[in-house]
Structure 1
Amino acid sequence: MAKAPPVLTRLQNHSPKKAHKQHSMSPLCLSIFLLVTCVALFTLFQIQSLHTPPSSSSPWFLMHQWQKVTTSTQELTSMAEKLRQAVTFLPLKDLRYQEKALQGHTWFMSSMYDTREEGEVQYQQFPSQSSNGRLLCLKGRDTHDGSWNSYALAWPETLPFNATLLKGLTFVSYNHYNYDNIWHGLSAVVPFVAWHIRNECESPSRWILYHWGELRFKMGAWLRTLTEATFDGEPFIEGFEWANNSEPICFEKAVVMRHNEGGMSRVRRMETYDYMRCKARAYCNVSLEDARINNKGLPGIGLTLFMRTGPRSFRNESAVIGIFEKECAKVEGCKLMVAYSNNLTFCEQVKLMSLTDILASPHGAQLTNMFLMDRNSSVMEFFPKGWLKLAGVGQYVYHWIASWSGMKHQGAWRDPEGEPCPFPEDDRRCMSVYKGGKIGLNETYFSKWAKNVLNEVKTRKTVEVSNKSTASTSSCACS
């Protein structure tokens, strides 16, 4: 309240002698005069405040700033609300691409594009520059139709309503096939290992496994143990049993692989297989010092017949073993080992492959173990009748893995004889007859083939021993 005008004070201080000479003022007039004076002064003060910047300590300034803060907060809250509502979930399995799901741009998370660098693995990472800092969110746990499971991207400050944020690194794997077959499972894990090596050995807190967009809850025992050895800990497979099917799950950091080893250069693949070989041997406490050179100073040569039972097994195993046994006996230092893939633990397979320089085996998933041999080791593959014409490119997968892991694929023998097919031999329906057929033998061909491969390996290993070098260049160190 402004102070009373000084006029009043002056009137009260006049001497009595002079007061009687002035006209006296009535109480009503005095009140009106005072009111008009106050209004005039208040108006002048407001006009002055408009031309003079308010002090930061002024009540008017603080009130003005509070109004601005309140308005901004309301606007931000409204914007955040709109961003939450704008998060749109799309099907993990895009049915528009179902006819060409294995070609190029996949139907899994079809709106997203991979990060591509020459010779490196193709991947997606969230958050990242390509995701504009947004996190990956998933919803649904359907195991029969991937189009019922969905994904979306959201900023950390504006996650979808009722979302749960999982801390740590999450690996999200998409596989066209499955995680039980060791070849298909390995193909899905290899790109994560490559990413792991290139990112200072950062390991995941959890794995999420998808097959055609459908959730899967386990790896086969062989793959699970290899993953444990490679990442220094048993993999936790997230199944979302604890989550409401309709509520989103978001991830603090996620890496998604959906093209297996596609895009990786041979050098990068070999580096990755070297790393897994080294980690597997360390995990299984495999030492090779005693196996490199025999007591005569000659290189030891391990020749392993890795047998199958059932489909694609040899019709006459004992005869095949006899042929290789005879040729092995002709080469000093050669040791023949016969094993069955279905009755060995993971570490038993690691040890066997570590002692193997020549792996002879029918076509099948057990050949995946070849990357556990030293680099430059040899592979001999056997097929039943009919595969060359009807099996497609899948019959060459072990040629590929031999090249990718630094091995030498020494060719394949294809049995010209087999079960008769009721259709013409080039009819695709015959593959159902030939796929699991038994494999015969050709003693002359097998003997000559084994002799040539043994002599080649002996020459190579003799040079390595004389140069005091080892065949393996693997290292467990990350780059």
Structure 2
Amino acid sequence: MKKKVTANNLSRHFKRAVFLLPPLLLAAVLYLQFQTATGLFASISRIVSQPAAIDDLVDRLRASVTFLPLKDTRERSETWFISTLADVSEPDGEAKNLVFPSAASRGRLLCLAAPSRHDGTNNAYALAWRDALPRGAALRPGLAFVSETAYDHSNLWHELTALVPFASWHARSGCGARPARWALFHHGEVRAGMSGWLTALAEAATGANMTVETFGGPGPVCFEEAVVFRRNLEGLSRERLLGAFDFMRCKARAYCGVDTSDAGGPPSALRVTLLFRSGGRAFKDEAAVTRVFQKVCARLAGCTVAAAHSDNATFCDQVRLLSATDVLISAHGAQMANMLFMDRNSSVMEFYPLGWRQRAGGGQFVYRWMADRAGMRHEGSWWDPNGEPCPRSPDILCCYKNRQIGHDEAYFAQWGARVFAAAKERKARSAAAEVSAGERRSKAASCNCS
């Protein structure tokens, strides 16, 4: 009997212990959390009450900032600029870029010490927290566009290739992220600006005046925000590429006050522009070339020919002229970058002096590439087969690179007739496919900030 009573008592005690165990464990956990929080708050309170401790912490963070060569010669050219960080195509489809501050930079800002315009290895970069910038550093407020390119910031084709990713990224931001300044680098070397044409295009595309950081102060410069493109178009999708050119075209037309409500002109019209250049690679007889294409144009109803020189035209003059062009005829050169302002599916005819076909390599096709990227139709090229001999010059390209270009009336007439007829037919089909003139105006008037 006693054994039975004892067993019952043990059972009751065990059940009571099991019942009390969870509250006891909860109380223990709460006690430990309270002790931890008390200790943490006590530590924070001690730090807050001791300004010297805060200053010491900031000094330690400043001392931890490490400047590395802006041009890391151990890396390949695409990644030697800020080589310790990997760039990504974000948002999806954009060219590869770096953004500061970001999760990748652990919330730190980009700081640049860049006194050299001749050797990128003498320039340096570092990452630093905003409250612990390097001593002597200047904080630049707002967003900075930082461009590193192997090309030339003053050449229209080269810098346009570097500008496109920024235009696409800016449009993707809803056009809200306007640059407060630009920082331009070529192989890690500081550049002080772009050409006037490119500056105007950048300002039109972003809606902000271009201020270029020259790094002329005694200390480093840190940017409150920065986006870096160092690989030009790499990673940019075909859709985003075409969209970037559409965006820049639309913004440039708006900037220059071009009436885009009827940008394509009458469906029956064909507008041909001969864009001449002076000096190197100019036509020897501009009047004769003009007459050839005028005769061809006269055989097509609604066809008109305009002739102009790019070297005495302002940026907006060129925007207006090319916005009213369906077929561009021009010698190879920087002025061909103006094809950007033509409507999609417009045509381009290109001309070269003797020597280019034999020795210029792939670089002679840059405007063929641009036409494809901008949604234009490159209708082929003509290389002058004739030219004066090159005395004492084994390099035929060096001798002929900037020679003037002759003409072949029969070939030009045949080529022009084929291109003009196809362009006119294509334009008529495109106009017929439009739902209404009102839709055309609506589409032309809005620049796609998305």
Aligning the two structures, in what range does the TM-score lie when normalised by the shorter sequence? 0.7 to 0.9
Paired residue for 2:410?
A: 444
Paired residue for 2:4?
A: none
Residue 169 (structure 1) shift: 0.7
SS at match of 1:359: strand
Q: In the alignment, residue 217 of structure 1 is paired with which amino acid? A: A
Q: Cα gap change, 1:419/1:90 in structure 2, threshold over 3 Å: closer, same or farther? A: farther
Paired residue for 1:81?
A: 59
Higher-RCO chain (CA-CA 8 Å, sequence separation at least 6): 2
Residue 304 (structure 1) shift: 0.5
Q: Which consecutive unaligned segments of at least 5 residues does structure 1 have?
A: 1-52, 57-61
Q: In the alignment, residue 161 of structure 2 is paired with which amino acid? A: S
Mapping for residues 176-325 of structure 1, pairs under 5 Å? 176-201=150-175, 202-241=177-216, 243-244=217-218, 247-288=219-260, 292=264, 299-325=268-294
Is 1:164–2:138 an aligned residue pair? Answer: yes
Is 1:143–2:121 an aligned residue pair? Answer: no
Q: Pick from 386, 402, 425: which aligns with 2:371?
A: 402
Q: In the alignment, residue 271 of structure 1 is paired with which amino acid? A: G
Q: Cα gap change, 1:290/1:84 in structure 2, threshold over 3 Å: closer, same or farther? A: closer
Q: Cα gap change, 1:291/1:299 in structure 2, threshold over 3 Å: closer, same or farther? A: farther
Q: Cα gap change, 1:391/1:64 in structure 2, threshold over 3 Å: closer, same or farther? A: closer
Contact 2:179 2:208 in 1 (8 A): no
Cα distance in 2 for residues equivalent to 1:303 and 1:356 = 6
Q: Cα gap change, 1:119/1:65 in structure 2, threshold over 3 Å: closer, same or farther? A: closer
Cα distance in 2 for residues equivalent to 1:232 and 1:110 = 31
SS at match of 1:205: strand
Cα distance in 1 for residues equivalent to 2:172 and 2:378 = 28
Cα distance in 1 for residues equivalent to 2:43 and 2:433 = 82
Cα deviations by residue, 1:388-413 (Å, 9 ceiling, x for unpaired): 23212211111111111110010111
Q: Which consecutive unaligned segments of at least 5 residues does structure 2 have?
A: 1-30
SS at match of 2:330: strand
Cα distance in 1 for residues equivalent to 2:269 and 2:258 = 17
Cα distance in 2 for residues equivalent to 1:400 and 1:216 = 26
Q: Cα gap change, 1:254/1:63 in structure 2, threshold over 3 Å: closer, same or farther? A: closer
Residue 120 (structure 1) shift: 2.1
Residue 211 (structure 1) shift: 2.0
Residue 288 (structure 1) shift: 4.9
Instruction: Quote the sequence identity (%).
Output: 46
Residue 63 (structure 1) shift: 12
Paired residue for 1:110?
A: 83
Q: Cα gap change, 1:288/1:300 in structure 2, threshold over 3 Å: closer, same or farther? A: farther
Is 1:375–2:344 an aligned residue pair? Answer: yes
Cα distance in 1 for residues equivalent to 2:55 and 2:88 = 34
- Cα RMSD, aligned residues only: 2.7
Contact 2:263 2:323 in 1 (8 A): no
Is 1:152–2:126 an aligned residue pair? Answer: yes
Query: Rg: which structure is higher?
Result: 1
Paired residue for 2:7?
A: none
Cα distance in 2 for residues equivalent to 1:159 and 1:267 = 40
Q: In the alignment, residue 63 of structure 2 is paired with which amino acid? A: Q
Q: In the alignment, residue 202 of structure 2 is paired with which amino acid? A: T
Residue 212 (structure 1) shift: 2.1
Residue 440 (structure 1) shift: 1.5
Cα distance in 1 for residues equivalent to 2:379 and 2:44 = 78
Paired residue for 1:336?
A: 305
Residue 139 (structure 1) shift: 1.0
Q: In the alignment, residue 376 of structure 1 is paired with which amino acid? A: N
Q: In the alignment, residue 408 of structure 1 is paired with which amino acid? A: R
Q: In the alignment, residue 125 of structure 1 is paired with which amino acid? A: V
Paired residue for 1:456?
A: 422
Cα distance in 1 for residues equivalent to 2:389 and 2:40 = 93
Contact 1:169 1:252 in 2 (8 A): yes
| Range moving further from structure 2, 138-147 or 111-120 | 111-120
Q: Cα gap change, 1:233/1:291 in structure 2, threshold over 3 Å: closer, same or farther? A: closer
Paired residue for 1:91?
A: 69
Q: Cα gap change, 1:63/1:329 in structure 2, threshold over 3 Å: closer, same or farther? A: closer
Q: Cα gap change, 1:67/1:325 in structure 2, threshold over 3 Å: closer, same or farther? A: closer
Cα deviations by residue, 1:422-466 (Å, 9 ceiling, x for unpaired): 579xx6x33211211221111111111100011101111222333
